[in-house]
């Protein structure tokens, strides 16, 4: 069985939902469910959290993850690509003679990702010869065939200016994002008649370490297997209103959380004082 490490990214600087990685949901911070789901899968030789925050590191350790070091601040910006902290982490682990065949990125923002889903993705990846990675996707609701790109602003002086009238009229031209082909344009076609398109979600990625560590490599590689996630697994908390949706999904039974073995953080067992 290939060796594997679960990598949980949890930077401190979330702008849309401040503090989301350690904000409590059903009694535990989000990051606790990422750690619990990784453990629930039974696949990983190590569970490592990558963070730039001592506060998040303390919470992660409370729930049983390793935080061997903090990532450099330059890798914690909202525009920092994942490949930077990923390589940094794998290289530091390798320096300690801890090399892994596979890695999985398990983001805390997907709290309903269970161990069974991780194992299913693992099995599907290993079943495809020469695959580089597997990535969670879902059917796209906003079809790219109906998307547009703004091109330029047009300004037309009025034919005759009346007292108090506008000096000019402006408008912006746009073009379809995708080539429209012959016949009825995609943007004027009913959704059901359009070709099915899938969009990635952030719930689950598993890849061979060789793909990310080779020169010019990236996280996914070229041969990417599709993992068709169910609505609960693919759900991600990215905006403030998503929190209410998550609570509603739990209350209705639409989704379940991985079981957390540890006592809730903040009961005196963790050094950090406030995780709300």
Residue 190 confidence (pLDDT): 93
Tens of pLDDT, residues 207-254? 999 999 998 889 999 999 999 999 999 999 999 999 999 999 999 999
Q: Is the pLDDT of residue 156 over 70?
A: no
Q: How many CB atoms lie within 10 A of CB 40?
A: 19
Q: What angle, 0 to 180 degrees and rounded to 10, lies between the N-to-C axes of helices 54-62 and 30-41?
A: 40
Phi/psi-derived region of residue 221, left when phi > 0, alpha when psi is between -120 and 50, beta in every other case: left
Q: What angle, 0 to 180 degrees and rounded to 10, lies between the N-to-C axes of helices 115-127 and 30-41?
A: 50
Q: Is the pLDDT of residue 275 over 50?
A: no
User: Which carries the bigger pLDDT value, residue 59 or residue 275?
Assistant: 59
Tens of pLDDT, residues 102-113? 999 999 999 999
Alpha helices in 145-239 (DSSP H): 209-213, 231-234
All domains of the chain, ordered by start, with CATH? 4-140+197-252 (3.90.550.10), 144-193 (no CATH)
> Model confidence at 14, in pLDDT bands (50, 70, 90)?
confident
Q: What is the mean pLDDT of the chain?
A: 90
Report strand pairing: 169-176 vs 148-156. antiparallel
DSSP calls for 41-91: HT--SEEEEE-S-HHHHHHHHHTT-B--SPPPGGG-STT--HHHHHHHHHH
204-231 in b/e form (b: 16+ CB < 10 A) is bbbbbbebbeeeebbbbbeebbebebee
pTM of the predicted protein model: 0.87
């Amino acid at each position: 069985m290939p060796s594997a490490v679960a990598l949980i990214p949890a930077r401190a600087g979330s702008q849309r939902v401040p503090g989301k990685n350690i904000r409590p949901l059903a009694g535990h911070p989000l990051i606790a469910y990422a750690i619990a789901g990784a453990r629930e899968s039974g696949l990983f030789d190590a569970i490592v959290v990558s963070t730039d925050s001592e506060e998040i590191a303390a919470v992660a350790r409370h729930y049983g993850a390793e935080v061997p070091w903090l990532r450099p601040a330059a890798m914690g910006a909202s525009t920092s690509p994942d490949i930077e902290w990923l390589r940094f982490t794998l290289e530091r682990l390798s320096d300690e003679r801890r090399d892994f065949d596979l890695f999985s990125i398990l983001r805390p923002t997907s709290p309903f990702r269970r161990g069974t889903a991780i194992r299913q993705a693992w099995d599907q990846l290993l079943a495809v010869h020469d695959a580089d990675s597997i990535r969670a996707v879902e059917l796209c609701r906003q079809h790219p065939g109906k998307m547009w790109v703004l091109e330029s602003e047009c300004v037309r002086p009025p034919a005759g200016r009346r007292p108090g009238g506008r000096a000019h009229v402006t408008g912006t031209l746009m073009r379809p994002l995708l080539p429209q082909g012959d016949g009825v344009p995609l943007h004027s076609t009913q959704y059901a008649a359009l070709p099915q398109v899938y969009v990635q979600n952030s719930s689950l990625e598993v890849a061979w370490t060789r793909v990310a560590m080779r020169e010019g490599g990236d996280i996914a590689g070229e041969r990417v297997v599709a993992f068709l996630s169910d609505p609960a697994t693919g759900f991600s908390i990215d905006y403030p209103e998503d929190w209410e949706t998550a609570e509603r999904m739990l209350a209705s039974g639409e989704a379940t959380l991985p079981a957390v073995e540890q006592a809730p953080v903040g009961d005196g067992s963790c050094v950090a004082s406030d995780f709300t």
